[in-house]
Structure 1
Amino acid sequence: MRALLDMGREADGKIIRMNLGPFRPYLVTHPDHLQHILRGNSANYTRDGVFWRPLRRLFGDGIMSDGPSWELSRRTLQPVFTAKHVESLADLMAEAIVEGVDELAGPVASGRPIDVPAAMARIVNRTVMRVFFGDKIDIADAERLAPAFDTVGTSVIFRYLLPSVPESVPVPGDRAFRRAVRTIDEIVTPLVQRHRGRTSEGYDIFSVLCRARDDTGAEPSPAWVRDNLVAMLATATETTAGALTWFWLILEAHPDVAARLVGEITGVVGDERVRHSHLKDLPYTGQVVQELLRLYPVGWLFPRMIVEREALGGVWLERGETVIVSPYVTHRLESFWDRPDEFDPDRFSRQRSQNRHRYAYFPFGGGPHQCIGMHVFMIETRLVIAGILSRYRPVSNGRAIAPPKMGASLRPSRRVELTLRPLSHA
């Protein structure tokens, strides 16, 4: 990852071709070029090729694919994730989050450190399963899914590093990946069999998938329902829990940010249980989350395969080759960001955001494939942060921010633990 960032900084917005032995992808970092790839001519840059093969074994042909299957998936799932519908569910999200925060009381009272990724995943899982899956997946199964998805995210590292190696040749991580996929299917497949064919007027993900019909009016296959269900389970939990893990590391490293954030949350939430109505009065909290996603975008790499040869930025991009788009790199380039390595939430104030290029900051992607869960993420993340910091204070452990490690999502390279104290003892 350090090499990728160094190459991006040396290129300074120019399109370059990286020489990685038999694999020679293009690295694209300039916002103008990114806008063309992700939005302007997105049909010419598909989610296919060597980088997508490992994850295709998990996600299949649904919302994480391309073409007609993706179009049906997007059309089916979009109503669940419109800003208006998500806002209508926000109080239910807040209730579930408060219950999840309540469960921290045990380890807090005993003074035990909390395993941050596991704790954040439990809170997020509770919320997502209740609000977006209609409690059709119980918490026990959800807690089995979380480590399986985590294993998937870490076990594909060698496939990313050696993208030209055929799948028939085993590499480290393959066995763990297959075990994780089996665990996921052991939980998801019976759920699909149980609920497919049932009609419901609800807008939980199960209901909308079961009501889906293709352009001919036919019911999609069980595999299509399974693929979309797995994709939504993975993205709805992994991205939010991952970002919240980075959040506590950032807070530890920036006491000035922590003090201002705690002051805002204390002044707005007080001793109440956090509600959706609080969020409108927590602008700095939102800026902290935006800046968190700038430096540590969970979706840090968006590979695309070129369909037809075309010129971009003075470079001919060849058919069948891979383009690498990385928010992690673009978000850290001095040409587009002042002091890019510094954590400064004020760069997302309304005044300082006015003239920013739309594709200088794209943690959720862009264009037709922009993440449909972005509204859920922004509401849920702020509610979790406010819910915890309105009741507890983190105890400093004096450790520096862990460097990121490669995987399907961006994650810290070491174990992250957190000790909390009740607010009355802060």
Structure 2
Amino acid sequence: MPARQALPRLIRDAHRTLVDIANWSGGDVVRVGLGVSSPYLVFRPEDVQQVLQEKAAIYPRGDDTALWRSVRRLVGDGILAEGDSWEASRRTLGPLFRTTRVSTLVDTMAHAIATSVDGLEVLAARGTPIDIGAELSRIVSSAIMRVFFADRISIDTALRIMAAQEVIVTSMAPRLLAPAVPWWIPMPGDRRFHKAVRTIDDILLPVLRAAIERPGDGDDVLSTLARARTPEGHRLSEQQMRDDLVSMVAVTTETSYVVLTWLWPALANAPRVAERLYAEIDHVIGAGPVRAEHFPDLTYTRMVLDELLRLYPAGWILPRRAATEDVLGGVKIAAGTNVILSPYATHRMSALWGPTAETFDPERFAPGHEPRHRYAHYPFGGGKHRCLGEHLFMLEAVLIVATFLSRFRFHLTDTAIPGTRVAASLRPSRPVEMTLTRRTKHPVLR
């Protein structure tokens, strides 16, 4: 597709254009002219698997792609890097995010989330409209920061970190739309980006250094890292700890609150789904708080979240660069060529998901449903770089949704599905505002 066709459409609506190209091509590998660069777009699950898993060594992230250049300036050489740095971080962080360990944190997160949701009771009683994205940022930070830092960081400080991350993610937009511009050429957003990175370091580095001096015996991530040793018996360097903490805090908080912001307009436009979700939460949880023992029975809640991740994956674009010559989907890929994967586009391809591909339908993820290719749905990436925080997200998201809907009915100010905004993660083009009504329900006998 030549630049005169692709570039204006991508600038006007990048997300819609990627879906249109995926459907137009039938998922074939397509080269798109963007003026100074011509990346290949990869949509078909079989080809995605080649890039992320089977031939991952041929398709590294690459420091010279626009997204990863920016990411590296935030997170340095840690779990989001390549090679030896990634191996060291994965070895250290992997055990901390295993399913069995994360599952033990349910009660800690549940208490933090319930306490944060308590703050909405007064607003509900007054009928005061809320920005649910901002409220979710507060709720998520209270839970995630407890997991990472125990009581070393206050909620107010956590919100400063979240605010800085918001600036970082949105200020990257000009470089995402102009990926060939060298980093040394100033662009709009650069100054805001660097200031926000400094803000995060100013907050985290003193906390990190204090933990190194007094690691304690806590099971939070920071205390565990402060006690960790390399295979040679050495402490982790301050730089590695900083890079890994910033990486994982950014990924886990960003994914949770951004994805969940899309839930409410999705439910408002699918009232049967919303009512079934309410019914399951009432039946499983009853009048009490959400506990770990409820999780196996919240089947439909997890189906709703899987479908939400299909339509609104936080990581909507995954750039790679071919290290050597290759053939992908029958197309010859020259060494040094940019390759772009888009979970957002693959997840909405009618060839994979049928004529209702863009309809919110959790039944696609019902137990026993016809199996699909593993890379038809890959909101957390794949291969060796699959996101470590996947299980943490699902636990936290279930807790937030179940806690929230067990207490409130919600009424959107504008029920239309928002447009998308170009940023490093998939964000609504406008705030999602709602009013809350306190639910009165009887305990469910089980």
Q: Report if TM-score (shorter chain) is over 0.5.
A: yes
Among 69, 82, 85, the residue aligned to 1:66: 82
Looking at structure 2, the residues matched to 238 and 382 of structure 1 have their Cα atoms a distance apart, in angstroms, of 16
Among 318, 323, 335, the residue aligned to 1:319: 335
Query: Which residue number corresponds to residue 48 of structure 2?
Result: 34
Query: Which residue number corresponds to residue 7 of structure 2?
Result: none
Matches within 5 A, 1:161-176: 161-176=177-192
Residues 18 and 26, structure 1, Cα contact 8 Å, conserved in 2: yes
Among 191, 207, 211, the residue aligned to 1:195: 211
2:368 is aligned with what amino acid?
A: Q
Looking at structure 2, the residues matched to 398 and 170 of structure 1 have their Cα atoms a distance apart, in angstroms, of 38
Residues 80 and 204, structure 1, Cα contact 8 Å, conserved in 2: no
Query: Which residue number corresponds to residue 11 of structure 1?
Result: 25
Looking at structure 2, the residues matched to 203 and 236 of structure 1 have their Cα atoms a distance apart, in angstroms, of 18
1:157 is aligned with what amino acid?
A: A
Q: Secondary structure at the match of 1:146?
A: helix
Deviates more, 1:399-408 or 1:128-137: 128-137
Q: CA deviation at 1:276?
A: 2.1
Query: Which residue number corresponds to residue 257 of structure 2?
Result: 241
What TM-score, normalized to structure 2? 0.92
Matches within 5 A, 1:214-229: 214-229=230-245
Query: Which residue number corresponds to residue 96 of structure 1?
Result: 112
Residues 26 and 323, structure 1, Cα contact 8 Å, conserved in 2: yes
Q: CA deviation at 1:130?
A: 1.4
Looking at structure 1, the residues matched to 284 and 434 of structure 2 have their Cα atoms a distance apart, in angstroms, of 24
Cα RMSD (Å) of the superposition?
1.7
Query: Which residue number corresponds to residue 378 of structure 1?
Result: 394
Residues 212 and 219, structure 1, Cα contact 8 Å, conserved in 2: yes
Instruction: Give per-residue Cα distances to partners, 1:318-376, cap 9 Å, x unaligned.
Output: 22221111110100111111221111100100122x42111100001111000001111
In structure 2, the CA distance between the partners of 1:188 and 1:424, relative to structure 1 (3 Å rule), is same
Q: CA deviation at 1:62?
A: 0.5
Query: Which residue number corresponds to residue 359 of structure 2?
Result: 342
Deviates more, 1:326-335 or 1:313-322: 313-322
Q: CA deviation at 1:315?
A: 1.3
Q: CA deviation at 1:194?
A: 1.8
Looking at structure 2, the residues matched to 199 and 238 of structure 1 have their Cα atoms a distance apart, in angstroms, of 27
Query: Which residue number corresponds to residue 152 of structure 2?
Result: 136
Looking at structure 2, the residues matched to 207 and 234 of structure 1 have their Cα atoms a distance apart, in angstroms, of 18
Residues 189 and 226, structure 1, Cα contact 8 Å, conserved in 2: yes
1:296 is aligned with what amino acid?
A: Y
Residues 299 and 364, structure 1, Cα contact 8 Å, conserved in 2: yes
Gaps of 5+ in 2: 1-14
| 1:55 paired to 2:63 | no
Looking at structure 2, the residues matched to 17 and 209 of structure 1 have their Cα atoms a distance apart, in angstroms, of 43
1:116 is aligned with what amino acid?
A: I
Q: CA deviation at 1:59?
A: 0.9
Query: Which residue number corresponds to residue 365 of structure 1?
Result: 381
Residues 276 and 383, structure 1, Cα contact 8 Å, conserved in 2: no
Aligned pair count reads 425
In structure 2, the CA distance between the partners of 1:331 and 1:76, relative to structure 1 (3 Å rule), is same
1:16 is aligned with what amino acid?
A: V
What TM-score, normalized to structure 1? 0.96
Query: Identity, % of aligned pairs?
Result: 46
| 1:105 paired to 2:129 | no
Query: Which residue number corresponds to residue 16 of structure 2?
Result: 2
Looking at structure 2, the residues matched to 323 and 373 of structure 1 have their Cα atoms a distance apart, in angstroms, of 25
In structure 2, the CA distance between the partners of 1:118 and 1:214, relative to structure 1 (3 Å rule), is same
Among 316, 319, 326, the residue aligned to 1:303: 319
Matches within 5 A, 1:241-260: 241-260=257-276
Q: CA deviation at 1:387?
A: 0.2
Residues 18 and 24, structure 1, Cα contact 8 Å, conserved in 2: yes
Q: Secondary structure at the match of 2:350?
A: coil
Looking at structure 2, the residues matched to 163 and 73 of structure 1 have their Cα atoms a distance apart, in angstroms, of 28
Looking at structure 1, the residues matched to 318 and 70 of structure 2 have their Cα atoms a distance apart, in angstroms, of 14
Looking at structure 2, the residues matched to 198 and 422 of structure 1 have their Cα atoms a distance apart, in angstroms, of 44
Q: CA deviation at 1:279?
A: 2.0
Residues 262 and 312, structure 2, Cα contact 8 Å, conserved in 1: yes
| 1:262 paired to 2:283 | no
Q: Secondary structure at the match of 1:350?
A: coil
Instruction: Give per-residue Cα distances to partners, 1:80-113, cap 9 Å, x unaligned.
Output: 1111111111122111111111111121121111
